[in-house]
Amino acid sequence: MKTRLTTLLGIEHPIVLPGMTYIAVPELVAAVSQAGGLGILASGALNPEACRQAIRTIRSLTDKPFGVGCSLMMPGASECAEVALQEQVPVINVSMGKGEWVVERARTYGGKVITTVSSEKHARSAIESGVDGLIVTGHEAAAHGGAVSSMVLIPAVRDMTDLPLIAAGGFADGRGLVAALALGADAVAMGTRFASSAESPVHPDTKQLILAKEAEETIYSPNFDTFPCRVMKTPGGQRYTARKLSPPVAITRSVKAARELNRPLSGLVRDTLSLGLVGAVKVAYFGAATLAMRKAIHEANHVDGVQLIGQSQGLVHDVASVAEIVDRVMAQARTVAANVSGL
Ligand SMILES: Cc1cc2nc3c(=O)[nH]c(=O)nc-3n(C[C@H](O)[C@H](O)[C@H](O)COP(=O)(O)O)c2cc1C
pLDDT tens digit sequence for 221-276: 999 988 899 999 999 999 999 987 777 777 777 777 676 666 665 666 666 666 66
23 lines ligand 1 (CB under 6 A): yes
Residues 91 and 171 reside in one and the same domain: yes
Residues 92 and 234 reside in one and the same domain: no
% of the chain at pLDDT higher than 70: 93
Residues 107 and 52 reside in one and the same domain: yes
29 lines ligand 1 (CB under 6 A): no
Arithmetic mean of pLDDT, 91-106 = 94
% of the chain at pLDDT higher than 90: 82
Residues 182 and 220 reside in one and the same domain: no
Residue 278 domain-assigned (yes or no): yes
State in Å: Cα 206 to ligand 1 middle. 15
**What would the DSSP string read from start to end of 117-183?**
ESSHHHHHHHHHTT-SEEEEE-TTSSBS--SS-HHHHHHHHHTT--S-EEEESS--SHHHHHHHHHH
The CA distance from 68 to 113, in Å, is: 10
Q: Give residue 191's domain range.
A: 4-200+318-341
CA 116 to ligand 1: nearest atom: 19
143 lines ligand 1 (CB under 6 A): yes
20 lines ligand 1 (CB under 6 A): yes
310 lines ligand 1 (CB under 6 A): yes
Residue 13 domain-assigned (yes or no): yes
Residues 64 and 128 reside in one and the same domain: yes
State in Å: Cα 17 to ligand 1 middle. 9
State in Å: Cα 283 to ligand 1 middle. 18
Residue 172 domain-assigned (yes or no): yes
Report how many domains make up the chain.
2
Arithmetic mean of pLDDT, 202-206 = 98
Residue 32 domain-assigned (yes or no): yes
39 lines ligand 1 (CB under 6 A): no
282 lines ligand 1 (CB under 6 A): no
State in Å: Cα 92 to ligand 1 middle. 17
Residues 195 and 257 reside in one and the same domain: no
Output the pLDDT for position 246: 75
Output the pLDDT for position 269: 64
Residues 69 and 42 reside in one and the same domain: yes
Residues 139 and 163 reside in one and the same domain: yes
Residue 46 domain-assigned (yes or no): yes
State in Å: Cα 342 to ligand 1 middle. 35
Residues 221 and 191 reside in one and the same domain: no
Residue 304 domain-assigned (yes or no): no
Cα dihedral 52→115→33→149 (10° resolution):
140
Residues 269 and 129 reside in one and the same domain: no
CA 96 to ligand 1: nearest atom: 11
The CA distance from 201 to 178, in Å, is: 28
Residue 207 domain-assigned (yes or no): no
Residue 232 domain-assigned (yes or no): yes
| pLDDT tens track for 166-184 | 999 999 999 999 999 999 9
Domain with 183 in it: what CATH number? 3.20.20.70
The CA distance from 287 to 81, in Å, is: 19
Residues 91 and 193 reside in one and the same domain: yes
Residues 82 and 175 reside in one and the same domain: yes
| pLDDT tens track for 279-333 | 677 777 777 788 899 999 999 999 999 999 999 999 999 999 999 999 999 999 9
35 lines ligand 1 (CB under 6 A): no
Output the pLDDT for position 287: 77
- Provide the 8-state DSSP code for 308: B
